[in-house]
Chain A
Amino acid sequence: MITSHSYNRRGQVQLGETTAVIIIVIILLVIGIVFWSNVSKSNVTTIITQSQELSVIEIANIVPELTELKCYESGVNKVKCLDWYKVLAMNESINNKDDKSAFLFYNDYFKNSKITIVRIYPDVSENQNITIYDAKLDNTAKKLLISIPVNIKDYVSQKTYYGTIIVEGYYNG
């Protein structure tokens, strides 16, 4: 009788232990899954942000290489050099309020961005910023600003300016 009673009690204790172990394992699994899903979510967000940043960088790489803006000397193009009068002409055609065809054409290249050419040195007394393209997005979108140093050639005065191309890329982060 005593032996049978002892076996019964031991069986109950072992059943309790097994149940406790199963509950602990389930809790650990649930915590693990929740934790892992959070980590994965933050990784996906980072990847999306990075790819959007890369698309802004791509725009910043396109601008100084556009034939419509580059300097040519004796038929050979100069690296990292913009022709100031080409910049003025492009500004006029893209920002023409009566004819949006140029804006729509460059929209394929510049997407949701704002591109400004700034003349910095020499003769900096005048206001020499020209925004050649502006998608005019609202201020709620995130913004990535990239500045690229370039030469800006004025073929009339024969001066070479130092300036920057400022690309502000908007994206939803």
Chain B
Amino acid sequence: MDNKNKNIQNQRMTRTSTHKNNRGQIETFGLAFIVILISIGFFIFVSFKSGQQKDNPQKEFTNDKLANDFVLSILDVSVQDCNAYTVKDLIIDCARDHRICCGGIDSSCTSADSMDSCMAVNKSINIMLNRTFMTTHTKFWFYSENLYYNGNELLNITNLNCTSKSVQGQRGVAVISLYPASLNVYLNLNICYQ
């Protein structure tokens, strides 16, 4: 009778021990799974962080300097076929007086080889933009405010589809006073990121 009881007790102990072992193995695998998941997550996070775009001092400097220096530099430049005047003089004349005529000998500015101040400004700025930015494939949007010609803004030049909806970089603005008229003309240059 005693032996029979001992056997039953032994069988119960073995069954409980096997059950506990199985549960222990499942828990270990679960823990290992979690550790592996955390490790993979960590690696992905570090890879993502290191792959992110870092500061580019050259790009920042170029965008910062180029836009501002360009709009400020072009104002004092002598205009071809109109050497007595600068771009700024012609902008003021285009916005306010309409007296200056460039090129040609016809003072009424009607001959084929002459042009008024607005056309001279448009031509000269286009040449400078072309030789500075288009050769280097820089995205830009150059536009004027309060400088009207035949009812439209005189200058609205874009390169490589840079518009107000593009990712904007640095912006350069030149303010030209039309004193005694109470208006300012603004020349804006926006450099867009590639």
Contact = CB atoms under 8 A, between A and B. Distances in A.
A75 interface: no
Nearest to B28: A17
Interface residues of A, number: 43
A79 B76 CA distance: 11
B17 A10 contact: yes
B78 A122 contact: yes
Given A122-B77, A122-B124, A149 B50 contact: no
B14 interface: yes
A76 interface: no
Contacts of B131: 120-121, 124
B43 A35 contact: yes
Interface stretch (A90-98, A101-109, A131-139, A157-165): A157-165
The secondary-structure label for the interface of chain B is: helix
Interface in B31-80: 32, 35, 39, 43, 46, 50, 54-58, 61-62, 65-66, 69-70, 72-74, 76-80
Interface of A: 2-3, 6, 10, 13, 17, 21, 24, 28, 31-32, 35-36, 39, 42-43, 46, 50, 53-54, 56-57, 60, 79-81, 120-124, 144, 146-151, 159-162, 164
30 contacts: A2-B14, A6-B14, A6-B17, A10-B17, A10-B21, A21-B32, A24-B32, A31-B39, A50-B56, A53-B58, A54-B57, A56-B58, A80-B69, A80-B72, A120-B128, A120-B131, A121-B77, A121-B127, A121-B128, A122-B77, A123-B80, A147-B136, A148-B65, A148-B66, A149-B70, A149-B132, A150-B69, A160-B76, A160-B77, A162-B77
